[in-house]
Amino acid sequence: MIVLKTDKEIDAMRPAGHLAFELLELVKDFIKPGISTEDINVLVHEHTLKQGGTPAPLNYRGFPKSVCTSVNQVVCHGIPSKSQVLKEGDIINVDVTPIVAGYHGDSSRTYLVGKKVPENARKLTECAKTCLDLGIAAVKDGCRIGDIGHAIQTYAESLGYGVVRDFVGHGIGKTFHEDPQVPHYGKQGRGIRLSKGMVFTIEPMINEKSWKCKVLKDEWTAVTVDGKLSAQFEHTIAIRSSGEVEILTLPQ
């Protein structure tokens, strides 16, 4: 069941979205070769608490950390570790979801580690960011879910990349994951119709080659089946009663 939000409820989600943006800005200035993914987890955890929030990923369905850190071939849900140290030329997606005043704010970015990042990694990361922008641009009151996926898939595949099917965007609010599911592939005019009051994430995961992935034995970490790179960006989107489309995970 899709939980529609009033404008008042959408306004109440802004602090969580703003904190998600703030966390990713902190991470941007923190990431460099030599730090561990656990260092990122500690930074996000402590700042979330300092700002009066709660890190939603921690203990969610057994997830053991406060943030997801997905390096290179990891598609999503990478688990931070002291032993995983970032190297010059890596790419890493950091996915944060703070809870503030009962509402979730969900956002992620892929960062380049150091100054000597291979051109293929840069181009993939740029594509993933453009895919998010195109997906958001497709959102309007009355459009179909498939319009979002079509915009993303058409662009990514035109460059030879694969769009992950196994993980999708989702409704969000007082609950971490709500209806509807938002695939990042699809056909125009297909799927449920978007309407005023919907709040959901768009979070395309773009693989360097094959779209296929697999989940490791830890039952969380998803990786590309061919060992190639993957990049992702994410925002939380709302459609207000006026039909205006608002990105909640940007500065207020």
Tens digits of residue pLDDT in 103-125 = 999 999 999 999 999 999 999 99
Phi, psi dihedral angles at 29 (to 5 degrees)? -80, -10
pLDDT at 9: 98
pLDDT at 19: 98
Structure tokens at 45: 């955890």
pLDDT at 92: 98
Please tell me the distance from the alpha carbon of residue 225 to that of residue 214, in angstroms, as a whole number: 6
**Domain map (residue ranges) of the chain:** 7-247
Say if residues 246 and 11 touch (Cβ distance below 8 Å).
no
pLDDT at 74: 98
- Of 182, 184, 180, 190, the closest CA to residue 149 belongs to 184
Q: Which residues of the chain have a pLDDT value below 70?
A: none
Run of H or E including 203: none
Residue with tokens 């406060």: 66
User: What is the side-by-side strand order in the sheet with 235-239?
Assistant: 178-182, 169-171, 199-202, 235-239, 245-247
Fold of 7-247: Creatine Amidinohydrolase (3.90.230)
pLDDT at 143: 95
Residue with tokens 């979002």: 148
Q: What is the value of pTM for the model shown?
A: 0.97
Please tell me the distance from the alpha carbon of residue 163 to that of residue 208, in angstroms, as a whole number: 9
